[in-house]
Structure 1
């Protein structure tokens, strides 16, 4: 991607973002690109972001943040990454409802529109992690506290980012990259955690490492291996009947946190399936936002 294509893509992306929010009842967000020029490595698609009827996005030409401000900010920003198997980003079902919930409670919501590895970016499976790290650094400039909230593959992405704050996924671009790419709290909702056998059926596995990945490649993209005593407190939610992200994913992350003394809270519900966002009506998953609220308030109180 050259600079001309970057600027054309930026204009198209910002226009699409404004339109996507127009039907939500939310105040139009502040949309900012993550990078001052073409992203690390270059490449990528051209044209406008493509949005499905359900609000899922693909053809991410310019990765960025959509920032939604509450009426009375409390100085706590939450980076949101929706899922979609690294093939699309489920803004409509996950990120936007989460943002609406957060800003109603004083949190500033930062929706991450990250690059999708299969869309021709030269840095391949590193691009989404590059974007997540850059986003965390940008938010560090703006907020007293920074939390992350990831759904499904977005949970995998932010799990990787939160557990690997010292990993340099890209060459520093400017002064922003001198800031830490760290989170104070990590919430993972029906996340993909491990890419190791026997949990290799996911789109996340297929996109990031491929069908012929070695055991070491699968381990390198499995979140649990990067949990340490420095990992921020973790909040995990999953339904036991999840058909896409095997429910063992949450157990694996919970056990890794326990092993390293990381404060962890897990909520497992009998039904709800996958992709229930802020809760699926008629299932116990509607309870998790209330538990999440209490967990977030611990950080606001200094806990």
Structure 2
């Protein structure tokens, strides 16, 4: 066998061993029916669980909420594609397929809160520390993640949050209109807009945060993430904010994002800092 063939065989063996070391499976989030019913009976909430090799598991887990304007879900580059990144750090990744709200805000929020509870209920079986369960979200998924981080009761409150180019506010002049209308309705009450403008609900109990976005994002204004960071700072919540010069919106874990490597290194450093 030539050297080239030997190297190829070794690479394939290493890949197969790595894949076999990682466990992944899908779970129906509400096997006995959802706590909050959706107007779309065919829309079901699920999680796909990606567990690292047991010997490398750190006990940390993160529930991942893809974006999509509360209209659809970018399940790959903002969801499943993140699993190897976290698993390689010994972190369990739980990708949430949450239901669309159709103007009923409690539908996706109840799904995200239940996903956190699900991880904690299965902590022993999944080699997870129930006090080290975070939440991550991109775009509208970032709104969902920050909503849980600022509103949830203790059993569903995450221990840390990771937000990529997040929708934070529901105020009409700064919010992403599609996310606003799909979550609250196009004629939303001011009370609801205030209630789900998450920068207004930061407290000292809000979990630490990593926030990353692009300066030239024209879809979700950078003011969303920046204002959230300011409120975290004002309330003495540990947080880090990374604003990249370009990249626009929706880059997720794509290699095509110009600052992909820098973003991953900064996220790794942050995750190792606590």
TM-score normalised per structure 2: 0.84
The 5-angstrom pairing of residues 83-98 of structure 1 reads: 83-98=67-82
Among 283, 295, 299, the alignment partner of 2:258 is 283
**1:104 aligns to 2:85 (yes or no):** no
Structure 2, unaligned runs of 5 or more: 1-18
Question: Conserved in 2, the CA contact under 8 Å of 1:116 and 1:127?
Answer: yes
SS of 2:105's equivalent? helix
Among 242, 249, 253, the alignment partner of 2:217 is 242
> Distance in 2 between the 1:210 and 1:282 partners?
33
> Distance in 2 between the 1:139 and 1:180 partners?
11
Task: Map Cα deviations across residues 62-99 of structure 1 (whole Å, 9 max, x no partner).
Answer: 21211011123211111101000111111112111111
Structure 1, unaligned runs of 5 or more: 1-24, 48-60, 167-178
Residue in 1 aligned with 2:110? 130
Among 28, 36, 47, the alignment partner of 1:33 is 28
Question: Conserved in 2, the CA contact under 8 Å of 1:190 and 1:239?
Answer: yes
Task: Map Cα deviations across residues 112-145 of structure 1 (whole Å, 9 max, x no partner).
Answer: 1111112xxxx92211000111111111221211
Mean CA deviation greater in 90-99 or 108-117: 90-99
> Distance in 1 between the 2:75 and 2:257 partners?
22
> Distance in 2 between the 1:79 and 1:163 partners?
16
Instruction: Quote the RMSD (CA, aligned, Å).
Output: 2.0
Question: Conserved in 2, the CA contact under 8 Å of 1:202 and 1:244?
Answer: no
The 5-angstrom pairing of residues 66-81 of structure 1 reads: 66-71=48-53, 72-81=56-65
TM-score normalised per structure 1: 0.76
> Distance in 1 between the 2:39 and 2:255 partners?
35
**1:229 aligns to 2:204 (yes or no):** yes
Q: What is the aligned length?
A: 246
